[in-house]
Amino acid sequence: MHMTVDQAQGQVPVTILQLHGSLDASNYEQAIARARELYAAGTRHLLIDLSDLSFMGSSGVVALHSIALLLRGEEPLDPETGWRGFHDIDRDPSLEPQRYVKLLNPQPKIDRTLELVGMNEFFEIYTDIQAAIASFV
């Protein structure tokens, strides 16, 4: 997986993290680490562009959830928890639509994965970048 970062200005500054390739067990921790770096550098509104993501495994779902927690100022699940951590995601009482992390243009396979695990209710998902940027307040 390759990641690129861009900045946009809406009502607030928005960082756009674009993921390229596959998000899976081999690299999901890199995505979390990159989000941690962005947060430490001042990012408070993150748009994750999934338009060039061709595959996302269960570890990718953990990465997205972890990134949402980071942007809320919380510590994500410990990756060492393995499947227990993955299954605990749906028990998270704060699983409400995210104000600080939103998703852009998931490919149909990725969109189905998000829907199957209920993350389409956890994240606002946009197909138009300008609408996504404008949605952050």
**For the chain, what is the HEC assignment?**
CEEEEEEEECCCEEEEEEEEEEECCCCHHHHHHHHHHHHHCCCCCEEEEEEEEEEECHHHHHHHHHHHHHHCCCCCCCHHHCHHHHHHHHHCCCCCCCCCEEEECCCHHHHHHHHHCCHHHHCCEECCHHHHHHCCC
Q: What is the pLDDT of residue 17?
A: 98
**Domain chopping of the chain, boundaries:** 2-134
pLDDT in tens, 22-65: 999 999 999 999 999 999 999 999 999 999 999 999 889 989 98
The pTM assigned to this predicted structure is 0.89
Q: What is the pLDDT of residue 100?
A: 95
Residue of 33, 40, 16, 25 whose CA lies nearest to 135:
16
pLDDT in tens, 116-135: 988 888 899 999 999 999 99
- CATH level 3 topology of 2-134: Transcription Regulator spoIIAA (3.30.750)
Q: Are 67 and 44 in contact (CB under 8 A)?
A: no
Q: What is the pLDDT of residue 121?
A: 85
Q: What is the pLDDT of residue 120?
A: 86
